[in-house]
Structure 1
Amino acid sequence: MHNLPFIDLAVIALYMLAMVGIGFYFSRKNKNSDQFTKASGRIPGWAIGLSIYATFLSSNTFLGVPGKAFGSNWNAFVFSISMPLAAWVASKYFVPFYRSTGEISAYTHLEKRFGPWARTYAVVCFLLTQFARMGSIFFGIALSLQALTGFSMQSIMIVMGICIIIYTVLGGMEAVIWTEVAQGIIKTLGALLILFLIVKDLPGGFSAIVDVAKADDKFSLGSLSPDFTQSTFWVVLFYGFFINLNNFGMDQNYIQRYHTAQTAKQAAKSVWLCVWMYVPASLLFFIIGTALYAFYQTQPGLIDPVKLQVAAERLGVAATSPEAQQLAATLAPADYGDKVLPFFMVNNIPTGLVGLIVSALLSAAMSTISSNMNASATVFTVDIYQKYFKPDITDKRKLYLLHVSTIVFGVIGLCTGLAMIGAKSLLDIWWELSGIFAGGMLGLFLLGLISRQTKNAAAITAVIIGIIVILWMTFSGKLNENYAFLRNPLHKNMIIVVGTLSIFLAGLLATRLLQRKQENNTAE
């Protein structure tokens, strides 16, 4: 077990206490549900932009992106390149739309367009997405802290979950936003510090990083060929555009923030502030991953303990066993990428600074999970409980339900994280799950927003077709060789693209066919 020095433990403890203290401070203001869910619309645009940026910059980015860059190349950076286009669509169309509705839930308008089923369908997709997101973030932070402390991932997740639940329940949306402002700054400074320490200890400095990366094609953004069966430039670009469009246009985490702004103009500016901060920040994490690759390529013996650890975990044997050593010799960088940054922190960061880096990692996890918990509780309370069980619920009872459901969803996210232990790539598992759950609701949202002629029957038909397509693309790969011709030939990141387009285009076609049928009946 690694034992952190007292000064590092003190820094981490002070950070955790500060976050809980913020929750207690804002708890005095949470006297009604409006304050808990949207801070009564009093948050300045710059703070909202920083909070959205902090939500994007989760531990999936802090750990998953360097791990991906270490194990492969910069192909995943194309995801960030797609953000400005999605932000333009969101600021021009989505933000004004949601501000005009005045509804705190992102899904109320779907009921007005297509009926209660549409609202419920979107809510279920959203909640499943949040469970996957919270689980992957819990998993990511536990992966890092396990390397630093030696404690089990399970115990780390449980302690983290309790702390996050406390300050989220106490502080509400205002506490979430203001802590995310601080956490966004801490994360960025922590990343810069890590990069500085890598370059400082690397023989040859920054020029060595460039030389090694060029030699092994680490700067590649992926093939430009029109091949949608591999993770090419175009596959990631399309995936990134659709998933970011879903984030800005359908994700309650972001829609809820639009309502906390004082004006629609400030809300739109917050989207752009997030983009202009996240794109260079994500580039920073790719540089960190490439720098780590160069660091261990120029000093190959230093990475052996990581290989042995991964091999031992896969085989369920001791790291000193011959079996583990034999497997470790065959592992590629992609097999242990997520574990490299925590390993570097353990062995190369000076005492005192480790506590600051861990605080940055904690902030990366806490900001996103707390936001997910608040948004999930809001959606459940407004779109499910108040809709189907207690339409005339009092505000006092509503606030109580928001508190309880925040706790419940935090626990569910924690359990999802525990179930992910042993996953190979943090970033891959999150991208796959988010693409599966988000594709359906984005297609329905675009259909309702763009095609004003589409009615309930056409929308239901489109969603059924879309669900069938998404299920086929997700699970057909498990078919045995006798049915290999039925397998999905496309890359898994295309699920959200094809799923969204299937619903949207099927809805347009069904609308046209129903209109023709109605015209024929009228003519007769």
Structure 2
Amino acid sequence: MQQTLDWIDWTVLAITLLTIVGYGTWKTRGSKNVQDYVRGGNSTKWWTIGLSVMATQASAITFLSTTGQAFSDGMGFVQFYFGLPIAMVIICMVFIPLYHRLKVYTAYEFLENRFDLKTRSLTAILFLIQRGLAAGITIFAPAIILSVLLGWNIVTLNIVIGVLVIIYTVSGGTKAVTVTQKQQMFVIFAGMLAALFVVIDLIPDEVSFSEAIDIAGATGKMEVLDFSFDLENRYTVWTGLIGGTFLMLSYFGTDQSQVQRYLSGKSMKEMQMGLLFNGLLKVPMQFFILLVGVMVFVFYQFNPAPLNFIDSSTQTVLASPYGDDYRELQNKQEALFEQKKKLSLEYGEASTNRAVIKDQIAVLDQTEKTYRSESKFLIKKAIDAEYASAYNNLSSELEAIEDKNSALYNEKSIALKSLYGDAAKDTLTNDRDYMFITFILNHLPKGLIGLLLAVILSAAMSSTASEINALATITSIDLYKRNLKEDKGEHHIVNMTKWFTFGWGIIAIIIACFANLAENLIQLVNIIGSIFYGNVLGIFLLAFFFKHIRGNAVFIGALITQVLIIGLYFLDNAGLINLPYLWLNLIGCIIVIAIANVLQFFSGHKKTQH
């Protein structure tokens, strides 16, 4: 059943979002030159930089997907961020002093000074590809989930989120993004704190917070550290410290959506303190968000949970030939819930035999996971049958249309293509990202629901604003302005940057409208980054530390590396090799450095022979 919001929630949601957009537009109106529009007039304090950097990374995906990750797999995902503090220190020591000394508007200006124009342009284009895709996903993530649960039209949601972002980002540029992100982070922190206190309060009175932690621990949800070298496990201490460090170095050191945040600082010291502030706070923040997900898991040990958190999927399978099988699973889960609730209460109260009860809880948890897996299989079969029927009907309708150039024929053709092999079917089975929002809508008090929806949409807006602001800056400074035949002045560049901001905002909305949900959204964003970031980081490290390397060797090496990394990802995705995506950052970085050195050696060798 789709949820409806109370007027109080609508009021809280509308006031929160409109206040943020209005304040950002009013506060930063009238940027007249490139320095103000692109670098925020270099007036940002360190705490604002730190919050802005965090807000850029903390998209709606962070809150929907990370809590779902904790609900399913526990706290281990926090290891993904272990490399972040290390990366912050390296960036403060190496990247920021260089960027500050050269007074660059973008990270890629430096690459032309060091190598040549084509290397700068290639790196900028790699950024535009991966960040353009990510911008669409940050809009799409909350839109598709809210559309399924609330019955809101997904295209309308994509447009509303995108347009709100475009309004203040076009108006005020970097300063508008930074100013609004402070307000957005306040809303985010307040909303998540409120959610944690409420979920703890909803757990039975006889179960204390420490006992709730014990219950989560009985199912392995509190296992934070994994020191194994098992490549089957995506999240270990080593993938976080090694792969995570390289990913964070690439993201915070070379991704313009982040670089632009700290380049707006008043001084080099403010920039460095802002990043260190982020390094100190980010891991605890992610731990806290995961803890919220774990507490929701504990809540569902004492309250019935659906087999699948997407109600429309449940209705589809119940109405299908597989409905009886699904009802049987629901009955099994109901019986399991009563056992689970009884054991959880016993575990919280027991002073002896806790080890025995813990083992029993772990067995029940594993059984429930099996039921959930079986339910997804049945839902997938039901949806496949539904899609096959729709596909056959559309095929018949197409054959009956005589005019193959008519609007009706084109409309039916597009609908047919969207059904064939459509990954959207996975959207209706992979419910992990729906867990937290379902909990919010069903169990939180009125008013707080509106605040939590504002958290999700604020996070989507903050990260999307940073992304389209950076995309426009790169397009304007690294591609458009650099290739102009004559200097057209500051006013012209500011206007063009505004148009590019508007254009990238529209592109992000379009990508969001055609995107499909992956198994886990936060993983999808990180996968996209990992495919490109290692290569880009390697280019920058070549520029910093390999003084003998020239532009041609780097350019050819980067092209070869990108093809190889994309190939490795698809081989892993096909199951032909076993390579967790975080390692692509390290591998891409090493490959481009190695190839560039080899190419430079042979180039220099040939010149010597000549």
What is the TM-score of this pair, normalised by structure 1?
A: 0.91
Question: Would the aligned equivalents of 1:142 and 1:157 in 2 still touch at CA under 8 Å?
Answer: yes
Once the two structures are overlaid, the 10-residue window that deviates more, 507-516 or 425-434, is 507-516
Match of 1:251 among 247, 252, 255: 255
Provide, for residues 51-109 of structure 1, a one-character-per-residue CA deviation record: whole Å limited to 9, x for no partner.
11111222121111111111213232112221110001001111111101111011011
Once the two structures are overlaid, the 10-residue window that deviates more, 508-517 or 18-27, is 508-517
Query: Which AA in structure 1 matches 2:462?
Result: S
1:215-254 aligned at under 5 Å gives the runs: 215-221=218-224, 223-233=226-236, 234-254=238-258
Q: Post-superposition shift, 1:336?
A: 2.2
Which secondary structure does the structure 2 equivalent of 1:454 belong to? coil
Supply the distance in 2 between the matched residues of 1:319 and 1:363 (Cα, whole angstroms): 36
1:163 alignment partner in structure 2:
164
1:271 alignment partner in structure 2:
275
Q: Post-superposition shift, 1:323?
A: 2.7
Q: Post-superposition shift, 1:297?
A: 3.0
1:457 alignment partner in structure 2:
552
Question: Would the aligned equivalents of 2:52 and 2:178 in 1 still touch at CA under 8 Å?
Answer: yes
Report whether the alignment pairs 1:437 with 2:438: no
1:472 alignment partner in structure 2:
567
1:387 alignment partner in structure 2:
482
Query: Which AA in structure 2 matches 1:18?
Result: T
Q: Post-superposition shift, 1:225?
A: 2.5
Which secondary structure does the structure 1 equivalent of 2:431 belong to? helix
Q: Post-superposition shift, 1:305?
A: 5.8
Which secondary structure does the structure 2 equivalent of 1:302 belong to? coil
Supply the distance in 2 between the matched residues of 1:422 and 1:319 (Cα, whole angstroms): 23
Supply the distance in 2 between the matched residues of 1:470 and 1:23 (Cα, whole angstroms): 40
1:47-446 aligned at under 5 Å gives the runs: 47-146=48-147, 149-203=150-204, 204-221=207-224, 223-233=226-236, 234-299=238-303, 301-304=304-307, 306=309, 308-310=311-313, 317=316, 320-321=319-320, 323=322, 326=325, 329=329, 330-332=371-373, 335-446=430-541
Q: Post-superposition shift, 1:236?
A: 3.7
Going from structure 1 to structure 2, the CA distance change for 1:350 and 1:436 (only over 3 Å counts) comes to: same
Match of 2:592 among 492, 503, 509: 503
Query: Which AA in structure 2 matches 1:377?
Result: A
Q: Post-superposition shift, 1:167?
A: 1.4
Going from structure 1 to structure 2, the CA distance change for 1:264 and 1:324 (only over 3 Å counts) comes to: farther
Which secondary structure does the structure 1 equivalent of 2:32 belong to? coil
Question: Would the aligned equivalents of 1:76 and 1:236 in 2 still touch at CA under 8 Å?
Answer: no
Q: Post-superposition shift, 1:429?
A: 1.0
Supply the distance in 2 between the matched residues of 1:397 and 1:363 (Cα, whole angstroms): 31
Once the two structures are overlaid, the 10-residue window that deviates more, 506-515 or 109-118, is 506-515
Supply the distance in 1 between the matched residues of 2:294 and 2:190 (Cα, whole angstroms): 18
Q: Post-superposition shift, 1:513?
A: 4.3
Q: Post-superposition shift, 1:156?
A: 1.3
Provide, for residues 8-55 of structure 1, a one-character-per-residue CA deviation record: whole Å limited to 9, x for no partner.
111111122212312431353312232111111112122111111111
Supply the distance in 1 between the matched residues of 2:572 and 2:263 (Cα, whole angstroms): 42
Q: Post-superposition shift, 1:144?
A: 4.4
Supply the distance in 2 between the matched residues of 1:14 and 1:307 (Cα, whole angstroms): 28
Going from structure 1 to structure 2, the CA distance change for 1:431 and 1:456 (only over 3 Å counts) comes to: same
Supply the distance in 1 between the matched residues of 2:462 and 2:451 (Cα, whole angstroms): 16
Supply the distance in 2 between the matched residues of 1:24 and 1:455 (Cα, whole angstroms): 44
Question: Would the aligned equivalents of 2:9 and 2:446 in 1 still touch at CA under 8 Å?
Answer: yes
Going from structure 1 to structure 2, the CA distance change for 1:6 and 1:112 (only over 3 Å counts) comes to: same
2:578 alignment partner in structure 1:
489
Provide, for residues 360-384 of structure 1, a one-character-per-residue CA deviation record: whole Å limited to 9, x for no partner.
2221111111111111101100111
What is the TM-score of this pair, normalised by structure 2?
A: 0.79
Query: Which AA in structure 2 matches 1:202?
Result: I
Going from structure 1 to structure 2, the CA distance change for 1:319 and 1:292 (only over 3 Å counts) comes to: farther
Question: Would the aligned equivalents of 1:71 and 1:335 in 2 still touch at CA under 8 Å?
Answer: no
Question: Would the aligned equivalents of 1:188 and 1:281 in 2 still touch at CA under 8 Å?
Answer: no
Going from structure 1 to structure 2, the CA distance change for 1:96 and 1:371 (only over 3 Å counts) comes to: same
Supply the distance in 2 between the matched residues of 1:324 and 1:368 (Cα, whole angstroms): 41
Going from structure 1 to structure 2, the CA distance change for 1:55 and 1:224 (only over 3 Å counts) comes to: same
Provide, for residues 380-414 of structure 1, a one-character-per-residue CA deviation record: whole Å limited to 9, x for no partner.
00111112245523222212211111111112122
Going from structure 1 to structure 2, the CA distance change for 1:146 and 1:360 (only over 3 Å counts) comes to: same
Going from structure 1 to structure 2, the CA distance change for 1:37 and 1:269 (only over 3 Å counts) comes to: same
Supply the distance in 1 between the matched residues of 2:282 and 2:486 (Cα, whole angstroms): 40
Which secondary structure does the structure 2 equivalent of 1:306 belong to? coil
Q: Post-superposition shift, 1:469?
A: 1.9
Which secondary structure does the structure 1 equivalent of 2:446 belong to? coil
Query: Which AA in structure 2 matches 1:284?
Result: F
2:408 alignment partner in structure 1:
none
Provide, for residues 298-325 of structure 1, a one-character-per-residue CA deviation record: whole Å limited to 9, x for no partner.
33x333462654456xxxx365545367
Supply the distance in 2 between the matched residues of 1:375 and 1:141 (Cα, whole angstroms): 21
Going from structure 1 to structure 2, the CA distance change for 1:79 and 1:477 (only over 3 Å counts) comes to: closer
Supply the distance in 2 between the matched residues of 1:152 and 1:434 (Cα, whole angstroms): 29
Provide, for residues 113-165 of structure 1, a one-character-per-residue CA deviation record: whole Å limited to 9, x for no partner.
22111111111111122223222211222244336632132221111111111
Provide, for residues 159-206 of structure 1, a one-character-per-residue CA deviation record: whole Å limited to 9, x for no partner.
111111111111221111111111112111111111111111112242
Which secondary structure does the structure 1 equivalent of 2:107 belong to? coil
Once the two structures are overlaid, the 10-residue window that deviates more, 270-279 or 470-479, is 470-479
Supply the distance in 2 between the matched residues of 1:319 and 1:139 (Cα, whole angstroms): 28
Question: Would the aligned equivalents of 1:432 and 1:493 in 2 still touch at CA under 8 Å?
Answer: yes
Question: Would the aligned equivalents of 1:473 and 1:492 in 2 still touch at CA under 8 Å?
Answer: no
2:360 alignment partner in structure 1:
none
Going from structure 1 to structure 2, the CA distance change for 1:105 and 1:422 (only over 3 Å counts) comes to: closer
Question: Would the aligned equivalents of 1:198 and 1:291 in 2 still touch at CA under 8 Å?
Answer: yes
Going from structure 1 to structure 2, the CA distance change for 1:494 and 1:124 (only over 3 Å counts) comes to: same
Question: Would the aligned equivalents of 1:79 and 1:241 in 2 still touch at CA under 8 Å?
Answer: no
Supply the distance in 1 between the matched residues of 2:154 and 2:323 (Cα, whole angstroms): 21
Unaligned runs of 5+ in 2: 330-370, 377-428
Q: Between Structure 1 and Structure 2, whose CA radius of gyration is higher?
A: 2
Supply the distance in 1 between the matched residues of 2:154 and 2:527 (Cα, whole angstroms): 23
Supply the distance in 1 between the matched residues of 2:527 and 2:313 (Cα, whole angstroms): 22
Once the two structures are overlaid, the 10-residue window that deviates more, 360-369 or 374-383, is 360-369
Going from structure 1 to structure 2, the CA distance change for 1:46 and 1:478 (only over 3 Å counts) comes to: closer
Question: Would the aligned equivalents of 1:443 and 1:501 in 2 still touch at CA under 8 Å?
Answer: yes
Supply the distance in 2 between the matched residues of 1:58 and 1:275 (Cα, whole angstroms): 17
Query: Which AA in structure 2 matches 1:490?
Result: L
